[in-house]
Structure 1
Amino acid sequence: MLRYILEKFMIVFSELIYFIFEREKQDKLSQKFKLKFRKDGTFKIIQFTDIHARPKKNEKTISLMESVLKSEKPDLVILTGDCIDGRYCRSEEVVKNVIHNIASVMEKYKVPWSVALGNHDCEFCSLNREQQLEIYMSYDYNLSQRFSRVIGRAGDYNLLIMDSKDSKAVFNIFMMDSGDYCFRGYDYITKRQIHWYESLSNKLEKNFHKKIPSFMFFHIPLRQQKIIGKSGAFHGNRNENECVQAVDRGLFDSLKKMGNVKAVFCGHDHTNDYYGDIDGITLGYGRCSGYNGYCKEGFSRGARAFVIDEKNLEKLNTYVVLDES
C-alpha cells in the first residue's frame, strides 16, 4: 500500500512540475507574424488533411496541393493531421525530407500555414510529436507551436486574425492535438486541454472585451460527429462509419459553454467530407488530400476551403475543392 501511495505521489508530482514548466513556456510563446483580413473584408483558409507523405515523394499529392494554392490563393493553410506516415519514416533524416516535400509547397507560394498532428504522424517513428513540430516550425511561413499541457502531446495553440485595417483581432483559430491511440481505441482531447482552451478563451475575451468568433481544428473527430452522421442532417458525403475519439472528456460541452467556437473541423476518416450542426456548433470533415492513404473509387482527393467575411463573422461559408487532374 505504501509503495502504491508513493508511486501515485511521484506521478502527480512529476505532472505538476511538467504543468508549471509548460505553462511558463506557453506564456513566452507568440505568433510568429500577423494574419489579417484582406482589403475586401475576406479571409480564406484551405484545409489539407491526411496527406500521408512517405519517403518516396507522391507527385500527385504535391500537384494537387499546388493546384489548390494557385487557384484558391488562400491567406492561411491548415494541415489537420496524418501529414506524414511515421510507419515509413523511421529516421530523423527521412522525417525531415518527407516534411520538406510538404512544407515546400506552402513555402514556394509564401502562404502562412499551420499543423495539427494525427495518429499516424509519429506511429513507429523515431521522432516524437514535439520533435516533428520543431521541424515544421523551422519553416519561414509556418505558424505552428509545440506547446501542450499534456505529456506526449504537442500543438495546442491559437492563431489570431486581425481586421482589414490591422487595428484589432476579430477572429481566432484554435489548433489542438487529439493524440494517436489509447487503450480504448483512438485518442481524445483531455481535460487539461479543455482547461487550456477555456482559460485562453477567457483571456481573449478579457483582452478584447468580447468573445472572439473562432474555428477549431484537430485530427480525430469528436464523438458528437457520429450523432450528426447517423442523423442524416448534413451537407456532403458520408462513405464510412466515423472513427471518433474513444473517450468524451467534455470538449463539446465546453464549446457550448464558452460560446466562441462556431465550427470544428477534423480529418482522419478519408472518405467523409460532410458537415452538420449540433446545438448551434458545426462539426465537419476536410477532404482527404493525400494519394498514399486509403480512399474510395470515384471519391476524388481535394481540400476544404473556408471564406470568412469580416462583416458577418458568425456565418460559415465552406466548400470542397477537388483534384481535377
Structure 2
Amino acid sequence: MALIESLPYSLSEAGPEELDGVGNYIVEVLAQGGSKHSALTIYLLDTHSYSPDERSFKGYDWLKKNQIDWFKQTAEGLRKSHEGYSHIHMDLAFIHIPLPEYRDDALYKEGEWREGVTAPGFNSGFRDALVEQGVVMVSCGHDHANEYCSLSRKEDNTPALWMCYGGGAGFGGYGGYGGYHRRIRLFEIDMNEAKIVTYKRLEYGDVEKRIDEQIIVEGGKPIGPTV
C-alpha cells in the first residue's frame, strides 16, 4: 500500500491501523468553483480475501464489525459539515468482494449476470449500514463477468441502494464467457443536480457505445427504473 500511496496522483491511503484490513479510507470530492465544501464522499473499504472460518462459512471473507463501526462513525461525524454544502451532498462506496445481497435474483437488474456471485457466506450487515447512512450506490468487482446494477429496496418498497459491478477491465484476470468482452463501468456525476448516470464501455468493438445507460440517482436519492 505504501507503494500505491506514493504513485503520482494517487489518493489511496492505508487507513487506520486499528481496523481490520488495509485501505479503509474516504475521499472527499469538493464542489466546483473553489468551494471548500464536500459535494461527494467516497468510502473505500477492504473486503479482505478468503474466509477465516471455512468450516462454517465457505468462500470469501466479509467486512468486519470494526470496519462497519468506523464507516458509521465517520459518516455521522461528517454529516454536520456536509450540511453546509449549498446543494445535495451524496455518498458512494466501493469494495472488491460483493455483498451477500448481490445474490438476490428477485431484485431488478440492469446488465449481465454471467457467473455465480462469490459473496461471503456470512452477512456482517454492511448493506444495512450503507442504507442507514444514506449511501446511494455501492460498487464491487471480483466476479469479472458480472456487470449489472441491482436495486435494493427498503421495507416500504422505496429504492434504498444501487448495488453495481464495475465490470472486468484488466488483463490480470479471466474474461471470456461466451463472447463477453472486457468492459468498465463509468459514472457521470452532476453535483449541481445530485444526479448520477452510469453505463459501461467495451475494451474493443463498439467502444463508443454507452452500454445499459441508466440514471440511478436523481435529486440525491436512488431511483427505480423508468420503464
Residue number in structure 2 paired with 1:254: 129
CA distance in 1, matches of 2:73, 2:168: 32
Letter of the 1:136 partner, please give it: I
| Backbone CA RMSD of aligned residues | 1.6
CA distance in 1, matches of 2:31, 2:186: 20
Alignment of 1:72-221 (within 5 A): 133-148=1-16, 149-151=18-20, 153-167=21-35, 168-182=37-51, 183=53, 184=57, 185-209=59-83, 212-221=89-98
- Cα deviation 1:263-303 (Å, max 9, x = unaligned): 00000111100001112100010110123422223111121
Shift of 1:203: 1.2
Which has the greater radius of gyration?
A: 1
CA distance in 1, matches of 2:64, 2:170: 28
CA distance in 2, matches of 1:316, 1:237: 20
* Counterpart among 187, 195, 199 of residue 306 in structure 1: 187
The reply on whether 1:224 has 2:101 as its aligned counterpart is yes
CA distance in 2, matches of 1:316, 1:299: 26
Which has the larger strand fraction? 2
- Cα deviation 1:38-67 (Å, max 9, x = unaligned): xxxxxxxxxxxxxxxxxxxxxxxxxxxxxx
CA distance in 2, matches of 1:254, 1:147: 19
CA distance in 1, matches of 2:106, 2:76: 33
Letter of the 1:217 partner, please give it: F
Any conservation in 1 of the 2:152–2:163 contact (CA below 8 Å)? yes
Residue number in structure 2 paired with 1:88: none
Letter of the 1:293 partner, please give it: G
Distance change (3 Å), C-alpha of 1:193 and 1:258: same
CA distance in 1, matches of 2:193, 2:62: 32
Q: What is the DSSP-based 3-state SS (H/G/I as helix, E as strand, rest coil) of the residue aligned with 2:196? A: coil
- Cα deviation 1:121-157 (Å, max 9, x = unaligned): xxxxxxxxxxxx1110111210000014434x10010
Could you tell me the TM-score, scaled by structure 2's length? 0.78
Any conservation in 1 of the 2:107–2:151 contact (CA below 8 Å)? no
Shift of 1:257: 1.5
How many residue pairs were aligned? 188
CA distance in 2, matches of 1:232, 1:218: 20
Shift of 1:232: 5.7
Give ranges in structure 1 of 5+ residues lacking alignment. Answer: 1-132
Q: What is the DSSP-based 3-state SS (H/G/I as helix, E as strand, rest coil) of the residue aligned with 2:47? A: coil
Letter of the 2:187 partner, please give it: F
Which has the larger helix fraction? 1
Letter of the 2:19 partner, please give it: V
Alignment of 1:226-241 (within 5 A): 226-227=103-104, 230-231=105-106, 233-241=108-116
Any conservation in 2 of the 1:204–1:212 contact (CA below 8 Å)? no
Any conservation in 1 of the 2:186–2:198 contact (CA below 8 Å)? yes
Letter of the 1:178 partner, please give it: T
CA distance in 2, matches of 1:209, 1:286: 30
Moved over 4 A (4+): none
CA distance in 1, matches of 2:3, 2:127: 31
Letter of the 2:106 partner, please give it: S
Q: What is the DSSP-based 3-state SS (H/G/I as helix, E as strand, rest coil) of the residue aligned with 2:187? A: strand
Residue number in structure 2 paired with 1:118: none
Could you tell me the TM-score, scaled by structure 1's length? 0.55
CA distance in 2, matches of 1:220, 1:272: 12
Percent of pairs with identical residues: 29
Q: What is the DSSP-based 3-state SS (H/G/I as helix, E as strand, rest coil) of the residue aligned with 1:231? A: coil
